[in-house]
Chain A
Amino acid sequence: MRLIDILDRITRPLLLLLVMSVDRILTLIQGRVGIDKMGYFFVLPNLLIFGIFVLFPMLLNLYYAMTGGTKLFPADRPFVGLDNFATLFDCDDFLSPNSCQEDLFWRGIFNTIQFVVLQVSAIVLFSLLTALALNRRIIARGFFRSVFFYPVLLSPVVVALIWKWVLQYEGVLNAIVELFGGESMRWLLDTNWAMFWVVFVSVWALMGFYTLILLAGLQSIPPELYEASSIDGANTWQDFRFVTMPLLMPTMFVVLVLSLIRAVQMFDHIFVLTGGGPGTRTQLMVQYIYTTGFSNQIQLFGLSAAASMVLGVSLLILTLLQLRLGNQSSLA
């Protein structure tokens, strides 16, 4: 007798017993609540997890945002209403962070906007180009797919440390620059280069994931459509413009939404690579929230919670906007 048959013989009665017990319980519940309300029962476990780990912390965060002091326990914290939000938005000129009471918050906002625009654009563009390339019949396609995906598997700390060693003054990049007769630079100390490099490193580290999604999208396009367009005399560009892009658009929106959320939440790569520097040039909102609430000796949980509310609401608006645009585009 084969092993699989033995296992089948043992597990079959057990599974049957389990199914019968579950069926009995569910029948009992259905008898009480009625078939119409059984749906609620099935989503209850997920709702519970969502409530405990997502909704409750969100509400708690809202409460913290409306309290002051330095005590940790909510009951010990004095209610201050919207004072923390007023502190965050206390600015003479919103375009000049130095005129704001919480200048670091506004520096974080401006840096985040710049980072998100650059990083998301780069991720979408390069992921698309890479996916298109990897979707073609090229030599060692499997190897190249692995190569592009490999950085995704690395810990953000490892990624940042590798690039820190590459970019430091006595690092690999300067060695190459000198090899070609150039002069060594302090790449991360220059305020403009620093932003470029944090975008570059994060794109390098994350684009493999989005490439994979787009690749799946490309492979789901029926080849008959390309055959039809070929019969109609379409060239490669027209294939891309009128077949690939429209059918890839829903996947593109998924990539856009996911990469946008990840970009706004970016912390780990930058924290290790530049520490938010030089100065605060690459300090994003999440780092401001972390330092205000946790890394200072006097921890301002209220201000930190208020800043995270602002971040959360901004993200929500952006995502809704994107989804709306996505829906309009697919309807068109």
Chain B
Amino acid sequence: MARVTDLGGLAQYYLDMTPYLSDPAYWEENFGPFLNWKRVPGDDSSIPGFMTQLTITGPFINRTLFEQAGVDVPSDMSDSVTWEEWAEASREVAETLEIPYPMAMDRSGHRFAGPAISMGAMYFDDMGHPTVMDEGFRNMAEIFVNWHLDGTMHPEMWPLSEGYANAYEEFANAELAFYMAGSWAVGQFSEAIGDAFDWQAVPNPCGPGGCTGLPGGAALVGIATTEHPEEVARVMEYLTSQDVLGEFGARTLFIQAHAGLSESGIDWNTDLQLAKDALSVFVGQVGTLTQTAFDLQAYIYNRNVFNATRDRLTQALVGELTLDEAIERIQDDVDTALAEVSG
């Protein structure tokens, strides 16, 4: 058994537990939509494992800073706030309080994808091939680059890192007004910030393509080479029983991708109201996820797209490439790598 985050990328190694489970229908019923994320293309029936944690990308704000700066929190006044409105409000907070960073986004193509889809990015062409050559993707990329140039975004995080980088420290130190991360950060902020200031998850900003984040998460899967598939299935059945999974979610503050728990709800094991509120916001976001967001998460080579997006946009941020060159390079990188796979 293994806990994995590259769900589709490792799918070829997973054990199909169907013959060993006492009630496969329970799995289909409760984990149905998320089983696909762990299957190889063309497979629509195997049961390789379950999500230990469903994540949704989305922003956090430091509400205390907004209040100290006398700036209205845009999501208090409207259900569909745009990225530009958040940027303007965050800049105002930073300027008024002289904090260093109005906004930050994790250095990750996965984090960028939600906003891009909200701006209309399609991510797949009619043939199902990944593409970034559309107006929606370009619009979000352009906004993103401009925000780096005008100081709205944390200036060092994307240009000066290799691979993933985050701004937990800056947010926890109240140096940052608006931070695009995701539901997994709730546990960390509960520990690191507690109630030192009012931090809050807010709904994903909106654009012409919707108000979506990107789903994701980690899964516990059986490995096909095991010599004890029956035992693996038994342990999995125990772990996925509603009580056990509910308690696991309550203690870890992880959102669960289990239909039964979604209906009954989870009694989060924290006294921190800020954490409970944040989790409620993310749970509420599940309904706003677009089909493109689900498709992209299910796409087996999505990290290929995410990494190329991250690295090439970084080059555009520092002026090594123009925005159009960067987008062309993303597409080239994706196509070249996929050609190697099929070749």
A contact residues vs B (CB 8 Å cutoff)? 68-70, 78, 98, 103, 107, 168-170, 186, 188-189, 191, 271, 274-281, 287, 291, 295-298, 300, 302
Known A277-B318, A279-B315; contact A189-B160, beta-carbon cutoff 8 A: yes
Task: Return chain B residues, CB-CB under 8 Å to A297.
Answer: 6, 9, 301, 303-304, 307, 337
Checking A103, A188, A295, A298 against B160 with a beta-carbon cut-off of 8 angstroms, the contacting residue is A188
Bound-complex Cα distance A291 to B308 (A)? 11
Known A191-B318, A271-B162; contact A69-B9, beta-carbon cutoff 8 A: no
Bound-complex Cα distance A70 to B159 (A)? 29
Pairs A-B, 4 closest by C-beta atoms: A275-B162, A279-B318, A298-B337, A297-B303
**CB <8 Å contact, B343 and A186:** no
Task: Return chain A residues, CB-CB under 8 Å to B262.
Answer: none
State the majority secondary structure of interface residues on B: loop
Known A68-B340, A70-B341, A297-B301; contact A279-B314, beta-carbon cutoff 8 A: yes
Give, as a whole number of angstroms, the nearest-CB distance from A266 to chain B.
14
Known A276-B162, A279-B159; contact A70-B340, beta-carbon cutoff 8 A: yes
Which partner residue on chain B sits nearest A287 by CB separation?
B162
Q: Is B161 an interface residue (CB 8 A)?
A: yes
Residue of B100, B160, B163, B304 with most partner-chain A CB within 10 A: B160
Bound-complex Cα distance A281 to B338 (A)? 27
Given A275-B161, A279-B318, A291-B162: 15 more A-B contacts, CB < 8 Å: A68-B340, A69-B341, A78-B343, A169-B100, A186-B156, A189-B156, A189-B159, A274-B160, A275-B162, A277-B159, A277-B160, A279-B314, A279-B317, A279-B319, A297-B303
Q: Is B63 an interface residue (CB 8 A)?
A: no
Which partner residue on chain A sits nearest B302 by CB separation?
A297
Task: Return chain A residues, CB-CB under 8 Å to B303.
Answer: 296-297
* CB contacts between A and B, total, < 8 Å: 77
Interface residues contributed by chain B, number (CB under 8 Å): 29
Q: Is B194 an interface residue (CB 8 A)?
A: no
B contact residues vs A (CB 8 Å cutoff)? 6, 9, 100, 155-156, 159-163, 301, 303-304, 307, 314-315, 317-321, 325, 329, 336-338, 340-341, 343
| A-B contact list, 20 entries, CB within 8 Å | A70-B341, A103-B329, A168-B156, A169-B100, A186-B156, A189-B156, A191-B318, A274-B160, A275-B163, A276-B162, A278-B159, A279-B317, A295-B163, A295-B307, A296-B304, A297-B6, A297-B301, A297-B303, A297-B337, A300-B340
Task: Return chain B residues, CB-CB under 8 Å to A298.
Answer: 301, 304, 337-338, 340-341
Task: Return chain A residues, CB-CB under 8 Å to B301.
Answer: 297-298
Which partner residue on chain B sits nearest A168 by CB separation?
B156
Bound-complex Cα distance A26 to B325 (A)? 68
Give, as a whole number of angstroms, the nearest-CB distance from A33 to chain B.
48
Known A98-B321, A103-B329, A277-B314; contact A296-B159, beta-carbon cutoff 8 A: no
Which partner residue on chain A sits nearest B303 by CB separation?
A297
Which partner residue on chain B sits nearest A274 by CB separation?
B160
Bound-complex Cα distance A297 to B6 (A)? 9
Task: Return chain B residues, CB-CB under 8 Å to A107.
Answer: 320
Bound-complex Cα distance A296 to B337 (A)? 9
Which partner residue on chain B sits nearest A275 by CB separation?
B162
**CB <8 Å contact, A280 and B320:** yes
